[in-house]
Amino acid sequence: MDKSVASAAEALEKAGVKDGITLLVGGFGLCGIPENLILALRETGAKDLTVVSNNAGVDDFGLGLLLQTRQIRKMVSSYVGENKLFEQLYLSGELELEFVPQGTLAERCRAGGAGIGGFYTPTGYGTPVAEGKETREIDGKMYVLEMPIRGDVALVKAHTGDKHGNLVYRMTARNFNQPMATAAAVTIAEVEELVEPGSLDPDQIHTPSIFVKHILKGAHYEKRIEQRTTR
């Protein structure tokens, strides 16, 4: 039951990370991103990756590091406005992009983890988001059929976890981490605090251990501020 590993590199190796897989990467902006796993992923050199994440970090941090090395082939995202390199790669045709409304992206991941075959949402109807998708009128309102998202590997970040793989997120860092942790064949979690089994209050666990395959204590966190506003 001890799912802890010594390093992010070891976790990625055990998870079978390789070229061409689909990765679900938690975080919102720079909040709650699996920094150590992203750095280790860069070192693997794995390429042609499809990455599902709310955004692609910034130019020199987060998933932006994997854009620099051209390891990402396609992004499935809802917000990409903080990354100039992302814009350049997309406009030049080097990077594929599937734009998904933010709430729809979260629900598609949740549906993937819950085993739901698809769901109808009014979001995006009548816009390019709905092109090529089934639509349906329900109670006089038009809806778009959206399909679940599942990944080969999920990389998530929690504040605290135990060696069985139970996770507790801190405040807004729960964001996309919680649904993504359920929606991949293999989930790797990095945590700021790794504790012994039994240390966590069962009523406070956000992601149960059954969803987590490997867990590690992160070596370092920068705690960056994405946009600093002062008066």
Q: Which domains does the chain have, with CATH numbers?
A: 8-117+149-217 (3.40.1080.10)
pLDDT surpassing 80 at residue 97: yes
pTM confidence score: 0.93
**Does 225 have pLDDT greater than 80?**
no
- Amino acid, res. 127: T
CB 177 within 8 A of CB 169: yes
pLDDT digits over 10-23, tens only? 999 999 999 999 99
Residues 52-66: tens digit of each pLDDT: 999 988 888 999 999
Q: Is the pLDDT of residue 38 over 80?
A: yes
Q: Comparing C-alpha atoms, which of 180, 207, 185 is closest to residue 16?
A: 185
Contact assessment for residue 153 and residue 187, using Cβ atoms and an 8 Å cutoff:
yes
pLDDT of residue 214: 98
Evaluated on CA atoms 178, 44, 99, 138, the torsion sign reads negative
